[in-house]
Amino acid sequence: MKTRWYKDAVIYQIYPRSFCDGNGDGIGDIKGIISKLDYIKSLGVDAVWLSPVYKSPNDDNGYDISDYRDIMDEFGTLDDWKEMIDGMHDRGIRLIMDLVVNHTSDEHAWFVESRNKDSEYRDYYIWRKGRGKNGKKPPNNWTSNFVGPAWEYDEQSGEWYLHLFSKKQPDLNWENPKVRQEVADICNYWFDLGVDGFRCDVITYISKKDGLPNGRLKFPLIGDENYIVGPNYHKYIHELNERSFSKYDSMTVGESIGITPDNAFEAIDESVGELDTVFSFDHMGVDFKLNVLPAKFNLAKYKKILDRWQQLPKTCQPTIFLENHDQPRCLPRFVGDYGDKRELAGKALATSILFMRSTPYIYQGQEIGMTNCAFKQEDYKDIMSVNALNTIKKILPPLLPYARKVLLKRARDHARTPMQWTAGKNAGFSTAQPWMLVNPNYKEINVEDSERRGDSLLNFYRKALKYRKGNDVVINGDFRLIYPKSKDIFAYVREYDGKRLFVIVNFKNKQVNFKLPKDLNFDKCELALSNYADAPKKLQSMKLREYEAIVYEL
């Protein structure tokens, strides 16, 4: 029976390779996670979303899976995983696994077999004859999300296979009912081992337009209208829900590019029997031009996007996040030059998201205010960063300096530097040389230091999550923006069953005047949470200090 437990949940994302190294080889692993379960419990989160730990050759750091029913050697064993999930459940923490089923690794047994045209697995993937003389041109003009063509020619079978990501990540053919049943069986295998749900990677890519027609080439050069939320997407997800998700008290969240407030009802409403929630990325695009070029953060546009999700029916549960393994760190992105007010700014951002109607996600290190890293070109490890630099170096060398500047702001690598536990060697992440550069600021920004200070960002997160838990106004309340066009202030009212919360956040590193709206009437007011020790106890017109954030009960 579905309890919809995720409506009152906060979820913590772990990127295992960078979280904690338990065996001293420089790579984060499951034993490392086990050693930090008490810390995770102390945060007050309800579940962990664990990025992939399945068998993988690691072309895309685990998102290229070669065996869905076993654990990557670098991370440990299935017995280690069982110990981990038992430890989580003993502490009241649920586990959300990553479900990566738009594609597999090219080293998966299915794909190895599919290279034989006569194999029963040939139709598990999308194989096509090429165009032009001798078929040596790709079947269409689609491009990979990781730069370059979305097709790879296979000499063994004389045809091309589709890969919307790395050439080592061939796309599965979801038109084949056997593939869809394989996916349901994989989900049920993990559910039966105790998993509480799945984060579904690039799930809206699974249905491609019939005939795979050429796309409209745009910048970046991706013909996405032909494979995002394709013609059979809803059919496939509803079928998967019937065969798997609905049989357990599970939670599913889709990395669902193409799902917007305009079409979210048909994708996540409780009545449709598909996914429970999706990640919206439109709020993460307000500081982009042409999808990839950094631009100035626009608070008014950001609020407008979030408000649209908040106005969905209560049977549609929004999510909110500021960081994940695919995004740079949130502080410089959303609050600008915070100077010596890093933790104040972090508390402001936390306050702004934690009291909306949503399932919030916190990414490892966000709770201590980890920052982007000043990478040199040789420091980048992510396939997207490396491919972009190599391609530009090959075809447009004069643009290399600009590409480096863009990556310093937007590379996925920023989220993947090792977790900063202590001021000691390797930030306490590992006794060996870490697989990736540790951010040099670990001596100032780390868990150990944050634990010592009662007013730290870490302890603010704990306080905020404790206040949020079980709060009916947060879980069920209506949402109303205050001053939606303000470029400085993010303020909103939540109301449920005669109770109200008023949240006000200054997004700027300067003092800002706030005028109390005339239509906001209340008899009593109580200060519930603030990031300044001497915040006004009464809600009134005031001069907000730098990054000041306050929550009042009305």
56-102 pLDDT tens trace? 999 999 999 999 999 999 999 999 999 999 999 999 999 999 999 99
Clarify whether residues 257 and 314 are in a common domain.
yes
Number of folded domains in the chain? 4
Clarify whether residues 119 and 214 are in a common domain.
no
Q: Please indicate, yes or no, if residue 47 is contained in any of the structural domains.
A: yes
Clarify whether residues 353 and 231 are in a common domain.
yes
Residue 23 and residue 77 in contact, taking contact as beta carbons nearer than 8 Å? no
CA angle 504/468/479 to nearest 5° reads 50
Clarify whether residues 260 and 370 are in a common domain.
yes
Q: Please indicate, yes or no, if residue 70 is contained in any of the structural domains.
A: yes
Catalytic status, residue 413: no
| pLDDT classification of 399: cutoffs 50, 70, 90 | confident
Q: How far is CA 4 from the centre of its chain?
A: 20
Q: Quick one: angle between helices 177-192 and 233-243, nearest 10? A: 40
For the chain, give the mean pLDDT. Answer: 95
For residue 361 the two structure tokens come to: 């996600």
For residue 34 the two structure tokens come to: 């086990």
Distance CA 456, CA 350 (A): 13
CA 47, 351, 255, 364 dihedral sign is negative
For residue 366 the two structure tokens come to: 């966000």
Q: What is the pLDDT of residue 455?
A: 97
For residue 535 the two structure tokens come to: 């915040």
CATH (domain of 157):
3.90.400.10
Distance CA 24, CA 547 (A): 40
Q: What is the pLDDT of residue 302?
A: 97
Clarify whether residues 203 and 288 are in a common domain.
yes
| pLDDT classification of 222: cutoffs 50, 70, 90 | very low
Give the contacts of 316 (CB within 8 A, at least 6 positions apart): 264, 265, 268, 269, 270
Distance CA 36, CA 31 (A): 9
Distance CA 389, CA 438 (A): 21
Q: Which residues are 433's β-sheet partners?
A: none
Q: Please indicate, yes or no, if residue 196 is contained in any of the structural domains.
A: yes
What are the tens digits of pLDDT across the range 139-151?
A: 999 989 888 899 9
Clarify whether residues 116 and 227 are in a common domain.
no
Catalytic status, residue 113: no
Domain extent for 434: 5-103+177-374+412-465
| pLDDT classification of 223: cutoffs 50, 70, 90 | very low
pLDDT for residue 218 is more than 60: no
> Mean per-residue pLDDT for 435-452?
98
pLDDT for residue 220 is more than 60: no
Longest Cα–Cα distance in the chain? 80
Q: Please indicate, yes or no, if residue 356 is contained in any of the structural domains.
A: yes
pLDDT for residue 134 is more than 90: no
Clarify whether residues 525 and 401 are in a common domain.
no
Q: Which residues are 324's β-sheet partners?
A: none
What are the tens digits of pLDDT across the range 292-329?
A: 677 889 999 999 999 999 999 999 999 999 999 999 99
Distance CA 86, CA 90 (A): 6
Give the contacts of 285 (CB within 8 A, at least 6 positions apart): 291
Distance CA 335, CA 313 (A): 30
Strand order across the beta sheet in which 489-496 lies: 478-482, 489-496, 499-506, 549-553, 526-530
Q: Which residues are 127's β-sheet partners?
A: 161
Q: What is the pLDDT of residue 152?
A: 97
Residue 488 CA: distances (Å) to CA of 305, 307, 480, 510, 546: 16, 16, 17, 9, 11
Helix ranges, 299-399 (H): 299-310, 330-335, 342-354, 383-395
pLDDT for residue 536 is more than 80: yes
Clarify whether residues 288 and 338 are in a common domain.
yes
CATH (domain of 536):
2.60.40.1180
Q: Please indicate, yes or no, if residue 363 is contained in any of the structural domains.
A: yes
Distance CA 204, CA 233 (A): 7
pLDDT for residue 221 is more than 60: no
What are the tens digits of pLDDT across the range 465-510?
A: 999 999 999 999 999 999 999 999 999 999 999 999 999 999 999 9
Q: Quick one: angle between helices 457-468 and 342-354, nearest 10? A: 10
Q: In percent, how much of the chain has pLDDT > 70?
A: 98
Q: Which of 60, 64, 106, 201 is catalytic?
A: 201
Distance CA 47, CA 8 (A): 11
Q: Please indicate, yes or no, if residue 473 is contained in any of the structural domains.
A: no
Q: In percent, how much of the chain has pLDDT > 90?
A: 86
| CB atoms closer than 10 angstroms to residue 34 | 20
Q: Please indicate, yes or no, if residue 168 is contained in any of the structural domains.
A: no
- Strands (E) in 53-194, as ranges, are 54-55, 67-71, 94-99, 127-128, 151-154, 159-162
pLDDT for residue 34 is more than 80: yes
Helix, strand, or coil (residue 335) = helix
Q: Please indicate, yes or no, if residue 169 is contained in any of the structural domains.
A: no
Q: Which of 29, 106, 255, 413 is catalytic?
A: 255
Q: Quick one: angle between helices 383-395 and 400-410, nearest 10? A: 170
CA angle 48/418/281 to nearest 5° reads 55
| CB atoms closer than 10 angstroms to residue 369 | 26
Clarify whether residues 362 and 272 are in a common domain.
yes
pLDDT for residue 291 is more than 70: no
> Mean per-residue pLDDT for 424-441?
98
CATH (domain of 30):
3.20.20.80
Helix, strand, or coil (residue 42) = helix
What's phi and psi for 321, nearest 5 deg?
-150, 155
pLDDT for residue 533 is more than 60: yes
Clarify whether residues 528 and 547 are in a common domain.
yes
Clarify whether residues 504 and 384 are in a common domain.
no
ω into residue 220 within 30 of 0, thus cis?
yes
Clarify whether residues 276 and 390 are in a common domain.
no
Give Rg (Cα) of the chain. Answer: 24
